[in-house]
Amino acid sequence: MSETLHTGSPTATQSNRAGLNSPARVLFASLVGTTIEFFDFYVYATAAVLVFPTLFFPNSDPTTALLASFATFSIAFFARPFGAIVFGHYGDRIGRKTTLVAALLTMGVSTVIIGLLPTYETIGVLAPLLLALCRFGQGFGLGGEWGGAVLLATENAPPGKRSWYGMFPQLGAPIGLFLSSGVFWLLLHFMSQEALLAWGWRIPFVASILLIVVGLWVRLSITETPAFQKAIDKQERVEVPVMELFRNHKRSLVLGTFVALATFVLFYIGSAYLLSYNVKVLNIPFLEALEVQILGSVLFGLFIPVAGKLAERFGRREVLILTTILIGVFSFFLPGLMTSGEQGIFIFVIFAMALMGMTYGLIGTALAAPFPTKVRYTGSSITFNFAGIFGASLAPYIATWLQANYGMTHVGYYLGISAAITLACILLSGKEEV
């Protein structure tokens, strides 16, 4: 297993292709796609707290309705590995560019359809079933998007710049979170809560079609990565990448999955769960709760490039180890901050999202590093999305259930245990594997 993305002398064909992909175009293409995908993903997460419990699960008590809404939220994470396998297969067989376009369309169409769905009041139990189906489509598309975007950046990176290039697609997550929270914040400024529930919630979902058009235009303007073109020229592609992966790279799959565990648990406690906690438990108004989330997204985004620069200077593995230790320490302060009113929530967001930027900024390059080009799309996508199942899919649900039944201290235990598992897996991985 090798992290090397550029070896040997490029052929004339490779040089031509690489020349067409200027650094600015590559980095923008990797960033714009993940921004759109995560905007779609987080629009759902916000709606899952603010509107879906009322519109799609109206016959339940508030806590049960919220848990049911979070259950549909989790479906996407179980769909993502299937998307990773399917899109990863074609990404490793026919190329990164074409596969990224298909993944973007899958995610985008599913999101637009959500905005057109009838509610429980109109079609009864069929409404949450259709919502769950569309959520599966969102997860399936994102399962193929993330890995390809990371490879688009890292496989075009010059020597010594992989961590820096690899952090650009990661910026799509905080930008998507900022935009999705901002859209709902604007809607609540210009319409009543009743109007939001009646029809306003549909606007972000349907309007995402404009972002999809931009994303497709950018993605179609790039050429294949030099590393993949080299694999074609050397006839290194394998017939079934996922079989090659599970046959020869099981260790990297397992360790990579849990290297990203704390990243996902921290983020979904600090975003989806925090939003529901602020609104449902602390009774903070929707607008103020969204402002907290917007602040978190800004801090999240600011610390991603900080992580990239520190990794170039001190080493990616070393920065990940330190950040994971700090997440573990932070877990002991979580209960006190979360139960100290709005001031405590403010401090919680500052530290949680700063740490999130530090870990998330490096996780893309770290998960791609152990896999050779011929299975890198499949390998990085599957590890990222397996981590999503274990770390993200049920995080809002688990945190809500723990807080309701055992108190906030146990939410802190949950984050601390996740950090301990991640730290152990980083230490078990060799320097070339993270």
Among 384, 353, 341, CA closest to 142: 384
Residue type, 69: S
How many other CB atoms are found less than 10 A from the CB of residue 293? Answer: 28
CA gap 142, 295 in Å, rounded: 25
CA gap 284, 43 in Å, rounded: 20
3 state SS for the chain: CCCCCCCCCCCHHHHHHHHHCCHHHHHHHHHHHHHHHHHHHHHHHHHHHHCHHHHHCCCCCHHHHHHHHHHHHHHHHHHHHHHHHHHHHHHHHCCHHHHHHHHHHHHHHHHHHHCCCCCHHHHCCHHHHHHHHHHHHHHHHHHHHHHHHHHHHHCCCCCCCHHHHHHHHHCHHHHHHHHHHHHHHHHHHHCCHHHHHHHHCHHHHHHHHHHHHHHHHHHHCCCCCHHHHHHHHCCCCCCCHHHHHHHHCHHHHHHHHHHCHHHHHHHHHHHHHHHHHHHHHCCCCHHHHHHHHHHHHHHHHHHHHHHHHHHHHHCHHHHHHHHHHHHHHHHHHHHHHHCCHHHHHHHHHHHHHHHHHHHHHHHHHHHHCCCCHHHHHHHHHHHHHHHHHHHHHCHHHHHHHHHHHCCHHHHHHHHHHHHHHHHHHHHHCCHHHC
pLDDT of residue 374: 83
For the entire predicted model, the pTM comes to 0.79
How many other CB atoms are found less than 10 A from the CB of residue 429? Answer: 21
How many other CB atoms are found less than 10 A from the CB of residue 277? Answer: 22
CA gap 41, 15 in Å, rounded: 36
For residue 116 the two structure tokens come to 């057109």
29-65 confidence digits (pLDDT tens)? 888 878 887 888 788 888 887 888 888 887 667 778 8
* Domain range list for the chain: 20-433
Confirm if 432 and 369 have CB atoms less than 8 A apart. yes
CATH number of this structure's domain 20-433? 1.20.1250.20
CA gap 266, 414 in Å, rounded: 10
Q: What is the pLDDT along the chain (434 residues), one digit of tens a residue?
A: 444 443 333 433 443 444 456 788 888 888 887 888 788 878 888 888 788 888 888 766 777 887 788 788 788 888 888 988 888 888 888 877 788 888 888 988 999 999 999 998 899 889 889 999 999 998 898 888 878 888 888 888 887 788 888 888 889 889 988 998 889 889 888 888 888 888 999 999 998 888 888 888 877 777 777 777 777 777 667 778 888 888 888 999 999 999 999 999 999 899 888 988 988 888 888 888 888 989 999 999 999 999 999 998 999 999 999 999 999 999 999 999 999 988 999 999 999 999 999 999 999 889 888 888 788 888 888 898 888 888 877 888 899 899 989 999 999 999 999 999 999 999 998 776 67
